[in-house]
Every structure is written in C-alpha cells, then in structure tokens.
Structure 1
Amino acid sequence: MGNGTETRPMIEAEGLVKHYGQTRALAGIDFAVPAGTILGLLGPNGAGKSTAVRILTTLALPDAGRATVAGIDVVKHPGEVRRYFGLAAQDATLDPLLTGRQNLMIVGELSGMRRAVSRTRAAELLTQFDLLDAADRVSKGYSGGMRRRLDLAASLMTRPPVLFLDEPTTGLDPTGRQMVWDAIRELLRDGVTILLTTQYLEEADALANRIVVVDHGTVIAEGTPHELKEASRSAHVEVTLAAPHADAEGAIAPLVVGRVHASDDGRRLSAGVDATSGLATALVRQLDAAGVLVDNIEVRRPSLDDVFLALTGGRIADDGADRDDDGSRPRGRADDHEVREVRS
C-alpha cells in the first residue's frame, strides 16, 4: 500500500451523493477513517448508512462525490480496491447448499489462497466463531445467528486491512454478539481499519473510536463517544413515582430543562437537567409539597442513546417511512421508547 498509510485515511468519503429514483439516500456525505481505527456510522433507518457502505465496497455507484479505500478510488479502480477489504453485509451471501467449511474455503480460494492455506484459515475462523462442531454441516441448516457468524468469518478469510461491517450483530443473541465484539477488538489490535454500521447504540459506544451520525443523507454530528456525550446540553433525570399523580409533571418542571416525558403508565417521568448538585433533594421537596410519593430518583450523564435521539429528533424511521436507504424494508429499529411528551 506504500508509505504514509499511518496518516492517510484508509476509508474516505467526500461529497457522496446518491439517489434511488426520487429518493435521496445521500446528500453530500463526508467522513474519513484513519488507519487502525473503528468508525461507527449511526443513523435512523433510511438515513444513508447502508448506501454509503455499498458505494465504498463498489456495490453501487455514486451520483457525485468521491470515495477511496486504501487510497484507491472505488469508481475508477473497483477491481483493485476489492483486494483490500472484507465485507459482512446485512444479509448473508454464502451458499446454503455448502457446508460452513466449504463456504469459507471457496472464499479463500477465489481470493487466490492455496487450498491448504485456505483449509487452515477456515479452521481458525470456525474455531474463533464457535462453529467448528457444525463445520461439515450444510449451512442451510444453521440458525440465523450461526449463518451471521459464518458470514463474518468469510469476510475475514483473507485477513483484509479494511473491513466493512454492516450491522454485524443484528439477530445474534448476547453470547453471539459478545463473540463478535471480541473478534472486532482483536482485529483492531492487529491494525485493521473498520467501518461499522449498527442499530445497537451500546455497540458503537463500546467499539468505535469515533462516531458519525447521519440523518437524511447528511452528517449531523461527529466525534468520539465521549465528545458526543459531553456536547449534549444536559444530564438526565428519571423519577419513578409510587403511583401516577396529575401534579407530578408540574411539580418537577421548574427544576428541569425543556419538556417532561412520561411513560404510558404515568409512573416514570424523565427530563434533561443543567445542574445535578442537590437536584435529587430539591425534586423530593417539590414532589412532597405537591403530595406526590416517590419510589426512586436517578440522575445520570447523557448516554449515546440520549445523544442519538436528541440529534435525530427522536425518530427511528425516516419521516414515518419504515424503509432502508434504497426503499427496502429495514432489518430492525435502533431503539424503542414507549413515552409520551408532556409540555411543561
């Protein structure tokens, strides 16, 4: 790859624009991923995440802009750039009529590996992803989680310096998700550059060096997880009532910032706060004066979930259109919050 890869971005998008018919998927998106780091690409369904990955992995052409992987233009030199990356897309692309071992070995051999090397590498990955016992079973009989892990293993067959992971743990149970997280951390220690899209905000918080938040095909925020949380306007307070009370929202309104959110059953109230010192005591006094009984008060710094919902207006799907970037049905939702807004 030549000299200077330590400072040159290994993945770069500059002004990417993409339309699917009348639908604008990307509207001039920019981001860069330095070598040996993980960038988390976050956004509601339909925000443009998967479209950006498709362009960077030569599966779609941009209408405008430029994209490079390992310094190579993905439009001008698609064949060359494919040598440098692995891709685990949202949907598994392996042959269901082949065994897990055969699927991995074919990927290796098509990439130029000698058969013996391919067999050894396949065995390593089957062990790493806890698939060795099922290695010689036809993969159409695998569970959804097993197929997802096999697809991830296939993306790592050639030990690529760049890896694109498009929602890599969707559909996995907690054990399978942790297994993938451990593998990603090991890849990072080995110097692999990773672009990660995910619907699990705790996943981006745990793994990503930097996060780019995308909405309506544009970048609306960028920074480390810590920077994004620190830039959030306020901390957060949640009050659990012993029983719903009509005066509870009004009692806490003078001590919080903006709107008070109430759960459907009326027992949980939450809101932003600018100052936390002495807040719990003040809330108890206010609520007690209003005759409201309190079970619990929790004050916490903003989480990545709070930042995400604030940045995207609390939306999960794009303007109610429950679709992915290209109009297809989405695989999942970033979060679910059963709350209603109450104006203070």
Structure 2
Amino acid sequence: MKSSVVVIPTYNEAGNIEKLITGIFDQTKKISNWDISILIVDSHSKDNTSGIVKKLQKNYPRLYLLETEKQGLGKAYIDGYSYVIKKINPFAIVQMDADLSHNPSYLPEFFNKIEKGADLVLGSRYIRGGSIPQDWGIHRKFFSYFGNLIFRLGFMNFKIADWTSGYRAIKTWLVRDAFSHIKNYSGYVFQVAMLDFAIKKGADIKEVPINFVDRKSGQSKIIFTQYILNNFYYIFKYSSFVKYVIVGLIGAFIDFGISFTLIEKLRIAKKLYWLATTISAETSIVSNFLFNNYWSFSHKKIDGGSIGFFSSFLKFNLVSLGALVIQAVGIQLLTNLFGAKLWYLYKIAILAFIIIPYSYFFYNKIVWKKK
C-alpha cells in the first residue's frame, strides 16, 4: 500500500475549503492501494479557513493542518513538502488549488499514471479533452494561451502542453531532489521551476486533460505584472535555448567580424570568399563549444575527463561541419547569383534561419545528450 498527500495552500478560502476536502476524500474511495491524506497549508487566513479545517479534522483523521506566514505560493508548497516528507514520507505528493478550479474527480487518473511509472503528472488544460472557462474575457484567454506558448518557445520544448498548471502529482524522490532549486521561488513561477527541474532531471512526465473552472468564491491571488516579469526572468536565467541563442549571437559576431576583416579590410579575391567563411566559421565553432558546454548546457555538461571532452568536441565539429558546408556553399552560391555587394546580408540570413536551428537540434541529439 503506497501513501500520498494532497498539499493545498490556502489564504482566505473559507467559501471553498470544506467542499474541496470532502470532495477529495470522496474520490479516495475510488482509488485502491493508496493511503491518501490531505495537508492544508494555511497562511493565517483572516476568514476562519483554518477554523473550518480544524472542525473537519474531527471527521477526517488523515486531514492535517500547517499554519504558516503569508510568503507566497511557492514558499507555502515548500513548507508543505517539508512537513509531509518529515511526518509521513509519502510515495507521491499531489498539488491542488484551494478555489475548486481543480476538480478532485481527476485524481484517480493521476494516480493511475503514477502507478504506470510517471514521475510527474500534469493536469493539462491544453491537450485534447482539456479546457479553460468559456466565459473568460479575451485578455485572460490571451494571457493563458500566450503564457504557455512563451514557455514552450523559451525552453524549446513542445512536448509539454501546460507549463503553468498547478494541478499535479509528483513522486517524492523528485521533490526531494528539486528542493535546492525550487526553494528560491516564492510566487507562481515556482510551478515552472519545478517542471523545468523535472525535465532536466530526465523525469517521466505525463499529462491528464482537465477542465479548468473559475473560482466561485474568494479572490484570485495572482498579480499579473509580477507573474509575467518573474516568468520572463526565469526563462532568461534557465532556458538552455535562450542561452544557446546568446552564444550563437556571440559566435555570429566572431564569425562575421573575421569574415568582414578578410573580405573588406584585407580585400581577398572573390574566389577565396569560401576560405574566409571557413576560417571565420571554425573560429566561432570553438567559441560556441566552450560557451555551450559551460553555460547553455551546463546541466548536462560533458564529463569523462579529457578523452570524453575531446570526443565530444569532435562530435561538435562533425555537426558543425554541416553548418560550415551550408555557409560556404550558401555564401558562394548567393554571391555568384546576386553579386558580392550584399554578401553580409546573405550570411546573416543563413546564420539566423538555417544554422542556429540546425545546430541546436543536432547538438542536443549528438553532443549534449540527456544524462
């Protein structure tokens, strides 16, 4: 018999909490082979939320209450995680919102996915069968869809449809491993930080379609400007793809600078433009390898000593050889067809639309594989 705890942060949810707790315990009757408890992490609500929970504890022996200071959603989850791991040490932890936007009826499917081997299960609004409220205004729908699109593009990961869902089931080992990373986030970006860590850890992630509903009682705690800024900052700080693009721009500057010097300043013959491109490209390749290894892909940095490092560098050059051929052939072809006057525009176009996406894909597949 495995154990699990549903962790629910609350602040002024007196109008919702009793219905949610009873709904969860009703669903546990349909889930066999699991002992399921609930932990309410209440941030000193002023509407007697904790009083309602204490009253319900008389009927539900597996209902726990942890009262904390109001320090944000992420901090509430961290306190809740620490409490249940120390007191119960469950096999899995479930996250749910307290405002009834997450229907407990989906819990059996969450546990089914965990039983089948998933390390993290997301309640997804954006896969077939999932939805957001139809009566949301256009601005809320825009923020919802656009926000998830930003994360999918920012991390160049289209396998995950719902990056910001707060309805999740997570195996406890993954929560333990993530502590040093997620403890730094107190707001809603905590959800993204946990998912990002799980992806980089190589966790098995599954999604379950859910119909998200709007709260009927109480007020939303999201401050949208803060939410947007924090999420953009997280993407910039932790996205391998964003770092890769920055490294690519540095490499492009090196590449372009050397080509410009050889072609414009030293005035080499037009028939040797391919050689100038080759020299500049190979120099930028070395720069890109070092920056990517120690920055962009530092979470899967090459190890294995000097032999492993050199072997990976050869693979990097092998992939880059394709980029080199594309550049050399492309530059020579375009200058022959349209003249050499705008050679630098041809080079920029080739780098931006062909070399960067080509290289990112193959570097991940061949050089910096998942550990």
TM-score range, shorter chain: under 0.3
Which structure dedicates a bigger proportion of its chain to helix? 2
Q: What TM-score do you get using the length of structure 1 for normalisation?
A: 0.25
Determine which structure has more spread, i.e. the larger CA radius of gyration: 2
Q: What TM-score do you get using the length of structure 2 for normalisation?
A: 0.24
Which structure dedicates a bigger proportion of its chain to strand? 1
